[in-house]
Amino acid sequence: MNAFWGEILTYAFKIFSGLIGNVTPAIKSELNDLLTGLYLKALKTPNVFDDFFIGMLLDILAIPRPIPE
């Protein structure tokens, strides 16, 4: 990854992890459930991009990745 995209991802992490702290608990819980469910489904698909994409969203929003079943 070149430096440009590294900087973009760094800013995305800072912005979205800060925003998620200000979301109401009900919305945060729904978002957590949605993304963790999608992540578990993505792990079951043969497409590794699914795993990467949903995992990246979890990381940006500072939601811990669930342990695969």
CA distances (Å), origin 67, targets 33, 43, 49: 14, 10, 18
Q: Would 7 be classed as within a structural domain?
A: yes
Q: Would 65 be classed as within a structural domain?
A: no
Domain that holds residue 14: 3-60
Per-residue pLDDT for 14 more than 80? no
Q: Would 69 be classed as within a structural domain?
A: no
DSSP states along 10-63: HHHHHHHHHHHTTS-HHHHHHHHHHHHHHHHHHHTSS-HHHHHHHHHHHHHTTP
Structural domain count of the chain: 1
**Rounded to whole angstroms, how far apart are CA atoms 59 and 15?**
12
pTM over 0.85: no
Which pLDDT band holds residue 28 (cuts at 50, 70, 90)?
confident
Per-residue pLDDT for 46 more than 90? yes
Q: Would 46 be classed as within a structural domain?
A: yes
